Amino acid sequence: MAEFARQVPVVRRKIPAAPLILTLRSLPPLQRYVPAPACGKSAGYEGWLQAAAAQLRAQVKGRLSGRVTISIGLEDRHARRSASDCIAPIVELLVVAGVLPDAGAGFVRGLTCAWAPVTGVTIRIERAA
């Protein structure tokens, strides 16, 4: 029979909040949507979204909870491309891949995006303060 009255020592430690670092092989395509009258997401964007979501699912299991900040590093080899054009597709990708439950302000509290000396895309997700 099990002994339930026995005292068990409990050690309380702060769990380190290590950042989650994800990588992608390529940047999102420039054309996200098909122009009118067809409207909707372009085939190239849909293909990138599905392939990139599979890459992220292979790197992380489960969904993050709580408020986070996201830092995006983009491969610096696109002289005429704007870094701001990559923010929305990457945040949408994090939701589609199941990394984040939502992209709203209740979850994503900070977001930075910059050109960096990386290959493809590096996404760093940390717990917000």
Residue 121: closest CA among 58, 67, 74 = 74
96 within some domain: yes
pLDDT in tens, 112-123: 999 999 999 999
71: in domain: yes
Least Cα distance to 100 among 4, 22, 7, 32 occurs for 22
Is residue 6, in this structure, part of any structural domain at all? no
Structural domain contains residue 93: yes
- What pLDDT is attached to residue 88? 92
- Record the pTM: 0.81
pLDDT digits 0-9 by tens, 3-28: 667 776 766 655 556 889 999 999 99
**DSSP-assigned states of every residue in 63-83:** ---S-EEEEEEEES--TT--G
Domain with 101 in it: what CATH number?
A: 3.30.1330.70
Q: Which of 106, 113, 96 is nearest to 68 (CA)?
A: 106
- Residue 8: inside a domain: no
Give the per-residue pLDDT at 40: 80
7: in domain: no
Does residue 107 fall inside a structural domain? yes
At residue 113, the pLDDT reads 95
The pLDDT assigned to 2 comes to 59
Q: What is the pLDDT of residue 80?
A: 83
Q: How many domains does the chain have?
A: 1
**Range of 45's domain?**
20-127
